[in-house]
Amino acid sequence: MLSTIAATSLRELLRRRAALSLVTLLPLAFYAARIDLEGQAVRFLALGVGWAVATLALFSHVGSRHLDRRLAVVGASPTVLFAGRQIALIGTGLSIALVYLVLVSVTLDVQRLWAVGVLLATTVLIAAPLGAVVSLVLPRELEGALALLAIMATQMLADPDGTLAKLLPLWSTRELASYAVDPVGDEYLSRGLMHFVFVLVVAAVAAWVAAVVRLRPQRLPAVSV
């Protein structure tokens, strides 16, 4: 069942070619706009990938809402439905991240290229459950996409050393980008990974609990005689 849900979710994503193309090309626009500044280019690329994957997750979970309810009625586990969609989204996101990692390797002389790979992978792993959480709060695609754009824009503009930036979900992206590009110590890597693990656990648990509650069986009212 898990592989079936993952395959179905992947087919649904691929069917929306226009939306898929637009959200996956946005990171390229961010990257190309700041390619003259290596650090800015990598940071903006990672945040663009995060927005793209989170938006795809939003679209996937909103679009599958009615189907998931029908599957739950016939006995499908809400946990399996949630996990299957996350597997498809993470697989798609990691594929996008790999393409952009190759692009970085051929266009920039980054000090720690392997750290750019870690940066993009951790961003994808956070963005997938983040999009699912937003889809539960804002069940319409337009409002959800705007909310995600506001989160990413604030993450770009906030002072990375300030409290606001550390409260946002992709602060680890800024720390790992600094470690990958700038001549900084290992403390940036450790801080980024600790923040990543914390946000990943919180976002994944929140999205999973909300999915289970939303798809739980409903007790029908008793029939009066």
Q: For residue 193, which of 207, 179, 204, 183 has the smallest C-alpha distance?
A: 179
What pLDDT score does 165 carry? 86
What pLDDT score does 42 carry? 93
Spell out the per-residue pLDDT of the chain, length 225, in tens. Answer: 778 888 888 888 788 888 788 888 889 998 998 888 888 899 999 999 999 999 998 888 888 777 877 887 777 788 888 888 899 999 999 999 999 999 999 999 888 999 999 999 999 999 999 988 888 888 788 888 888 888 888 888 888 788 888 899 989 988 999 999 988 999 999 999 999 999 999 999 998 888 887 776 666 556 565
What pLDDT score does 77 carry? 83
Side-chain-side CA neighbours of residue 80 (13 Å): 13
pTM (2 d.p.): 0.87
What pLDDT score does 128 carry? 92
